[in-house]
Amino acid sequence: MSPAAKSGPKEIILHGLGVSPGVAIGYVHVRESGSIAVPEYSVRGAQIEEECTRLDGALQTAQRQIGRLQAKAATMPAAAAEEMGFLLEAYQQMLKDSRLVRGAYRRIRDDKINAEAAVQAEIKDITTGFEALDDTYIAARMDDIREVAYRLIRALTKSHVKPLNTVRKGAIIISEEMTPADTAQLNPDKVSGFATVLGGAQGHTAIMARALGLPAVLGAAGLLGHIQSGDHIVIDGDQGRIVINPKPATLAAFEAKQAKHRRTLSRLTRLRRQPSVTRDGTEISLGCNVELPIEMPGVLDAGASSIGLLRSEFMFMNRDDIPGEEEQYKILRDIVKAMDGRTVTVRTLDIGGEKLAESLTQDIGDSAQSALGLRGIRLSLKKPDLFEAQLTAILRAGAHGPVRILLPMVCSQQEVRTAREILMKLATKLKRKKVKIADKLPPMGVMIEVPSAALTADALASVSDFFAIGSNDLTMYTMAVDRTDEQVAALYNPLHPSVLRLIQFTTEAALRARIPISLCGEMAGDPRYTALLMGLGIRELSMSAHALGPVKQRVREIDLAAAQNRATVIMGQTDSGRIAMLLDDFNALV
């Protein structure tokens, strides 16, 4: 649906990171803060201090959020930067010391109530007296105090604003930030795309946007200052452009671009039945990454040879409880059956960092949100009940077709050994109970996504049945660049020689140990890297379903010997700019 452009409102063009390709044309749905249901309960004894600690944590979270907005504001044009800067600094001051904060702590201690109820009561008290005054300045200050209070309450209740399922068809969601859990709720039949102020190109929000085929622009400074619900809008996910209230000529140009993008996609789906082989006949296996079950029709349509990465986190997001073994089994069984004999690689829970599941991480605190914290396999080994339920569900799903088990964030042989012991114990127990599982244990492999794993790939190969290189995290941890932070997005570079050397070292270790190796990070889905990865020895890639056509097209153009030669030249370089040039030149030629 493309709304007709009006001549009235002024056309505004903004720039951000184009993280998911395609053009979306629609109307703006600004994601409002909305009202939050605030639970209220009494606390006693030691609980009082616990509530104060929760409030400490919420204050730190809010300070971090405002800090990110301050960094973002600094990149805006001078006048806007100054205005935003003052406002955000005022928020920071309020979070450090203000009547709101002091009052909330006092209420927890004196009224013996939970932290969110204390913040709620205090904000009510502060605003009541002033509401009667008909003063626009005071009204604006009250809005600011409310904004800070709601931020605290959101952090305390961990509530995410969830109006996303109720939007009209053709909506383009505009928000300060979208978490991966928020993105998982988007229904591509209704939502045409989204844009945010915060967020990097390699985070899971961006990955999910690509998986859902939704054009998206993240990290667009000043977005919220220019936009209202109902405005007409264009999102260009290739160029990272956002056009609010486009002029008729602008709209026509984007409609033409949108039509061209659709034609390209449908041309590429015709490759579905073509084999994925190089010009010299080497087969390259192209699998799909799946983060949500709604992607399955796309996976089957794309003609994927396997699911090379099933991100099992989706089962744990957007809910207050933990899915039991039976529920997990049924979801996995349906996916395994749908793949009809093609292998499904289920990655065990990789909650942590930006991907949070409230039900699991409440008791972990900040460590769960840290990229270096208690996440991935570390969390699974710390919570054996959770891990055992997941492994049991996978073992049972394995009765319906080939499955493999993939462990995330592995750093040591011991983690793999412990996981395998648990798996063997569970399999024995299930067999004894005559529960149907496959005769052979599923292969257990590891993600190579932290430098310590890559640098000890030879050791890990001796305890693993296969490797999957996670180039997203491997790039992030090697370069020390947060993949979700738009401020450092330009520094995130998988072509840095450090990252390439780790990929090469890992691949050689796997080939020597004769275990299968694939790459399932975002590099796999970008045809720019296909020849280089093949030249380094990788024969198996896993990517979002939308990327499969373009990558297969690239595979079919490549001569393996030429790719190997170019990879050798590239690996002799120390400068990432020169590496990029050598690769792009090769891609332009072959």
417 is in an annotated binding site: no
Site string for ligand PEP, 328-367 (x = CB under 6 A): ----------------------x-----------------
Phi, psi for 405 (deg, rounded to 5)? -110, 130
Within residues 179-218, the interface with ligand PEP by CB under 6 A covers: 207
Does the annotation list 473 as a binding residue? Answer: yes
- Could you say which of Mg ion, ligand PEP, none residue 471 binds, taking C-beta under 5 to 8 angstroms by partner kind? ligand PEP
- 470 is a site residue for ligand PEP (CB under 6 A): yes
- Residue 483 labelled as part of a binding site: yes
Ligand-binding annotation for 263, yes or no, is no
CB nearer to ligand PEP: pick between 219 and 494:
494
Name which position in 305, 345, 390, 471 contacts ligand PEP (CB under 6 A): 471
Residue bearing tokens 């990327």: 547
Q: Which residues of 156-168 are buried (b: 16+ CB within 10 A; e: fewer)?
A: bbebbeeebeebe
* Least distance CB 451 / Mg ion (angstroms): 13
User: Contacts with Mg ion in 471-500 (CB under 5 A)?
Assistant: 473
Shortest distance, position 309 Cβ to ligand PEP, whole Å: 6
**Cα angle for residues 368, 75, 478 (degrees, 5° grid):** 40
Query: Which CB atom, from 379 or from 427, has the smaller least distance to ligand PEP?
Result: 379
Burial grade of 397 (CB within 10 A; 0-12, 13-18, 19 or more): buried
Q: Rounded to an integer, what distance in angstroms lies between the CA atom of residue 287 and that of residue 406?
A: 15
Pick the binder of Mg ion from 116, 176, 354, 449 (CB under 5 A): 449
- Cα–Cα distance for residue pair 199/487, rounded to 1 Å: 9
Q: How far apart are CA 43 and CA 434, in angstroms?
A: 48
410/423 with CB nearer ligand PEP:
410
Nearest residue to 143 via CA among 97, 104, 90: 90
One symbol per residue from 258 to 297: x for binding ligand PEP (CB under 6 A), - otherwise; what is it? Answer: ----------------------------------------
By rule CB under 6 A, what string of x and - marks binding of each residue 432-451 to ligand PEP?
A: -----------------x--
Is 587 annotated for ligand binding? no
Beta-strand runs (E) in 438-526: 444-448, 467-469, 517-519
The reply on whether position 540 binds Mg ion by CB under 5 A is no
- 36 vs 371, beta carbon nearer ligand PEP: 371
Q: Is 347 annotated as a binding residue?
A: yes
C-beta closer to ligand PEP: residue 43 or 450: 450
Neighbours of 459 (CB within 10 A): 14
Query: Does 521 help bind ligand PEP (rule: CB under 6 A)?
Result: yes
Active-site positions?
A: 204, 520
Distance CA(119)–CA(531), nearest Å, equals 56
**Residue from the set 473, 482, 486, 540 that interacts with ligand PEP by CB under 6 A:** 473
Residue 444, helix vs strand vs coil: strand
Options 348, 472, 484, 530; binder of ligand PEP; rule CB under 6 A: 472
Q: How far is the CB of 560 from Mg ion (least distance, A)?
A: 28
Strand locations in 360-493, DSSP E?
403-407, 444-448, 467-469
CA–CA separation, 350 vs 529, rounded Å? 25
Of 520, 536, 538, 579, the residue at the interface with ligand PEP (CB under 6 A) is: 520
* Residue 570 backbone phi and psi in degrees, to 5: -60, -40
Q: Read out DSSP for 531-588? A: HHHHHTT--EEEE-HHHHHHHHHHHHH--HHHHHHHHHHHHT---HHHHHHHHHHHHH
Distances, alpha carbon 81 to alpha carbons 140, 200, 223, in Å: 19, 21, 13
Q: Which of 18, 470, 494, 525 binds Mg ion (CB under 5 A)?
A: 470
Give the DSSP H or E segment for 506: helix 497-513
At closest approach, how far in Å is the CB of 114 from ligand PEP?
A: 34
Tell whether residue 200 is a contact of Mg ion (CB under 5 A). no
The answer to the question of residue 478 lying near ligand PEP (CB under 6 A) is no
Q: Phi and psi for 476 in degrees, rounded to 5? A: -60, -50
Of 69 and 523, which CB lies nearer to ligand PEP in the complex structure?
523
DSSP 190-242: TEEEEEESS--TTSHHHHHHHHHT--EEE--TTGGGG--TT-EEEEETTTTEE
Element (H, E) at 139: helix 136-157
> Taking the complex as a whole, how short is the minimal distance between the CB of residue 552 and ligand PEP, in angstroms?
20
Of 405 and 520, which has the nearer Cβ to ligand PEP?
A: 520
CA dist., res. 63 & res. 356, Å (int): 19
Residue number of the CB closest to Mg ion reads 473
CB 549 within 8 A of CB 302: yes
Q: Which of 393, 518, 513, 367 is nearest to 446 (CA)?
A: 518
Kindly determine how many residues on this chain lie close enough to bind ligand PEP according to the rule CB under 6 A.
Answer: 11
470 touches 446 (CB < 8 A): no
Contact window for ligand PEP (CB under 6 A) among 24-32, 80-88, 414-422, 464-472: 464-472
- Whole-number minimum distance, CB 542 to ligand PEP, in Å? 8
| Cβ-based nearer residue to Mg ion, 234 or 379 | 379
Tell me the closest approach of the beta carbon of residue 454 to Mg ion, in angstroms. 13
Annotated binding site for Mg(2+): which residue ranges?
A: 449, 473
Q: Which residues are annotated as a binding site?
A: 311, 347, 449, 472-473, 483
Residues that bind Mg ion (CB under 5 A): 449, 470, 473
Please give the residue ranges that form the binding site for ligand PEP (CB under 6 A).
207, 309, 311, 350, 449, 470-473, 520-521
Binding residue ranges for phosphoenolpyruvate: 311, 347, 472-473, 483
